[in-house]
Structure 1
Amino acid sequence: MKLFTTHLTFSILLFLGVHGLSFAQNAEQTAVLDSLSAIYYNSVYTQPQVAKRAAVKWLEGSRELQLELQEVRALYALGNLSNITGDYKNTIAYTNDAITLLKKLEIEKGLAACYNIIATAYKNLGEYPKAIDNFMECLRYSEQTNNKVQEANAYQNIATLYLLQKKYKKSAENLDRAANLYREIGDDDGVLTTLFNFANIQKEEGKFDEARKHYNTVLGYREKEGNKAVVAYVNINLSQMLVEEGKCEEAVVALKKTLALLEELKFNSDITIVLNDLGLCETKLGHTSSAIRYFQRALAIGEEQSLSRYKSDIYKNLAQLYQEEQNYEKALEYYQKGVTSVAEQNTLDKEKYVANIQERYETQLKEARIQLLEKEQKLSEAELQKAELTVKRQRLVRNALISGFILVLITLIILRLSYVKRLRVQKELSLQQEENAKQKINQMINDHKLSVIERYQEGQDEERSRLAREIHDGIGSDLASIKIAFEHYSEQHNNDFQSKRIATAISNACVDVRSLSHQLHPLSFSKIGFTSFLNDFIDQITQKSAIQIQTFFFPEEDIDQLPEVLLADAYRIVQELINNILKHAEATHVDVQLTRHEDHLNIVVNDDGKGFQKNKKQGIGLRNIKERLQKVQGTIEIDSSPGRGTSITIDIPIHI
């Protein structure tokens, strides 16, 4: 499987260009270096050898002129080129030098790109822990420098790492993150690269038709661009699907065509993959000699590039071929090399296979010795038969011992795994039960708290209603009677100034009592309109004080149509906030704004008062407001500081 793991654009290769302008550089000298960087970029995917020569001259010129930023760019370019061509050791060396120089210059921009490339190299070498560590560094510096391109690249490369470990779901999740970032910044090339890797997932899952459709889409775009590297990558995967489908003859033709393109580009690690696939095809077609030649060529390149991930497969393939040819000495040699390169190989399978090959090899040696003795000493037929029976008996005894040992070991391993699994399940169940108990207790506490708040507020409302009735029916009725009696009296004293003054005072008292009664227990808002009622309350406040209060309702008609219970809570909240401002804020101007949204009512109250510190102990008014909001699942935000006024924003959910 070939993964397209690094999405690069020219802007990344020039990630330090802006910083370089701050240094006094000779125009002619920098022009030469810029021309070398242009040659590198134009040939990196089509003529890698030309690109390498340009990058080396670029690095030498930068060091000769002591232009450190140009040196960093050249090092990064060489690391990127080594990564493309499969020279992963040089990728790590060049990129580490670039990182060291960037940190010396105290420049963070560019570190994300460097860590991304070095992580990809470690991944291709099979050193997954180092790869993921460097991907994490890439993401950290991408966030610090707001580099969404490198953040997307990192997610894409992490996806390919999960794909190598056959964790397809996690791979797809990281590809989705990368694709969303590419779309956000308008990077169509990056989106196309994620499409390629989605096709890789479908290929690994056996969805060949869907994968082939996506591969051909990518291939069409890249052939138009002349991007030979990606064209080769796509063809490798298309050929591998033919191998999986058993179309080996068709696959051999496609693989040879791809091999020619890779040899032109000198992409050694990819040449190893194609040679290995050719060896597999020739094996299935029964061309053993051709298969061995392809595997030997792949092995030579793999040794040079330290591609341990491929060496183990090649060793095993060669061991299998030599075993079929009954060359057990070679088979044993290559299988032991394969086992050494993959330490995590199942121990029982290795021992069983090695024992089998070793037994055949020893048997072959014994048979050769018997034949030699027959020729040299002319042993009798009976002696030969006895020797053969001895060999067979030894073989049966050995096989029985090996089989018994393997059976016992497998049984012990299964029992151990079952015990560990049962302990893990019991622990998880215990933790889950404990968590459920905590959640249930917290829910009961919250329900009880809400119930207490609700009963408290219901008690407040009932007490206000009672007080309103007492004031309206008692004091209000008495004042009305006094007013009527005094009016009869004043008719006989029309010119008495004192009588008019008393009549005015009685009328004002009646208005105040009625206003107080309505504030304590307002009439149904559906009858008088909530906004009108709230405006009347605010008008009464402004008439009695020097403060100016402005109200804004958006839209007024929709607010009046809200449920009575919600409007009652909103009225009490605004009333409490205005009273707090009058008592404590020393403000001269207040804005009250109510806005109805689709799912909530927004209340904003601003004043130009003296403000307060947020960590100051809150009074009863704010506590009542918060308890009321807690009952209706509302939220409150307070923005205030001494001398700068106060802004309070409240959201009340609308449940219709």
Structure 2
Amino acid sequence: MSKSLLFFICMLMVSLSCLAQNQESFVGFGKLPVYTPDSLLQQLKHAGDIKEKMLAAQPLIAFHATHGTTDSVIFYAQQMVDALNNSTVKSGDKHLYQSALFQTLAKAYSEQGLQDEALRYYLEGIRLAEILGNTAAINENKLGIANVYFARNEYNKAIEAYNDLLKTTQDEQLIHTAYERLSVIYLEKNDLIRAKQYAEKALLFFRQQHQLKNELQTKLTLGIIAELDQHTEEAFSIYNEVIKNAQAQQFFDIYINAGQRLGDLLIKKKEYENAKGLLSMVYANAMQWNDLKAQLKVLNSLRTLHASTGDYKNAYALMTQYMGVSREVLNRQNKKEINELEIKYQTVQKEKEILNKENELQQQKTIKYGLLIGFLVILLPVIGLLYLYYQKLQAQSKLNTAMDEMNQQKITALLKDKELALLKASVSGQEKERKRIAEELHDSIGGNLAAIKLRLSSQHNVNGLKELMLQVDETYHQVRDLSHDLIPQKFTNTGFTELISGYLRQFDIPGNAKISFQAYPREEIDLIGTTLKVEIYKIIQELITNSQKHSLASKVEIQLTKMDGLVKLLFEDNGRGFSVETTKHGIGFQNIRERLKLFDGVLSIDSFPSKGTVIDIEIPLKPEWHEA
């Protein structure tokens, strides 16, 4: 059994103890996930043709959608898609069934955080809905696309999509669902007034329609608004209400989100034991449901909790666990893509078989037009060859243009690399020369003057020596001050962690990403050698610059830790990310790797499109890299 698993079992035991001592602070559950009712499975098993199977699958899929078990939703919906592909149902009925199933799959993938897959199914759903002339289905898929933009943190696109939907639909359900989503977007944009206005409109409608799950989700949003608006007790009350009702109705996805928010609130109130108990239980349930997105949120909260109590070792262990879950999310994304490609391939094969049969029938009907077909057979290849020749000329022209641009870019990159290398060499030489001069002034000249002063001070009976001593003393202090001026004062006169905090505060302006910085233990980090401090400071500057330019993140977290003979720097943002395998690293990352080579440091990057970026840096500490 691994250490991390033992750790979380112990935390779960603590949580049960805390619940027994303080039953009214919060509620939780420790049940296993609900199982599929046997009656629904039997209906699907005994269904006959495709229409009966579709009717039997509807309540089964709806059951799992209501309880947030998205894996089961995808499993049964995909089974029906495969059954449709293998059936001989009429195209009109097939499109109708596919439209409903694609919308179901899109919602499930979106809830799992697989937004690319969700967007693909929503777009396909709109195409089918337009063929069927189903305006309601078109609007439902438009709402789904807006939700995907929201999940990708593309808030301006999402707001535009929701407003477009509000202009074209009269469906009260869609309108108030859009209001609920807009409230969350404006909450993310920190516009609490608009967020509250939209949330209250949505809550009134959901309450009137007795839509309990939507009502609880909207109440959770209002609780977050109250928390951010410094109404802590109101938020505490709302979170407790949502947790209790979500548990009673078995809305486990809402329960997990509300529990995580309440845990964070308990941390702010410094009720660390209650927070530890609740978050441990929420994490256990997130693991039971294999909800990786929820696991990431709770692990981050637990990491903050242990850091706040000074338990840096467990904080770092949780950080490692967090990165492992993040990698699992990426692996799951890749597996889903492979499965979808297999299904797509099977569908294409079926369509090819149908097409071949249609071609055979068409050939039989057109034999009597042999002369005409013969003429077309001769004419069409000629036209095809001419078209291919034209395409070849066009492609060659585009290729030449692309090659010219590529060569120009290579020349520009080489010039920039050369300039950067010269600048590095110049700066390195200046720093070495400044250090050499400082040591020479301090150790040689300063030492000599101090010795002269000492010898002269013993000659009390010689006239005029007092004035000479004053001159020598003044010269000694001048040399000493000069040597100190040649050392970077901001890294010696100011605490290193405070220096970083001051630099990060420059970016604390409206519209910029919210940056949080934690360092522990601060006292030991401040004792790192000046040379290493300078490089770490420059690396943080480089990472912040990259994030500001490229990531479009709304949140950035920086953690600097000294532990087990290592300095560890963790940089994390929730921006648009990138593919580590296919994206070429720019000059910024190259600069960082070059700086780390001087200290035997290691850089690892964990990122994926629309999933944010995690950068982990480890530098081994050597005795010569500590302050004297």
Q: TM-score range by the shorter chain?
A: 0.3 to 0.5
Q: Name the structure, 1 or 2, with higher relative contact order (CA <8 Å, separation 6+).
A: 2
Over alpha carbons, which structure has the higher Rg? Answer: 1
Q: TM-score, normalised by structure 1?
A: 0.46
Q: TM-score, normalised by structure 2?
A: 0.47
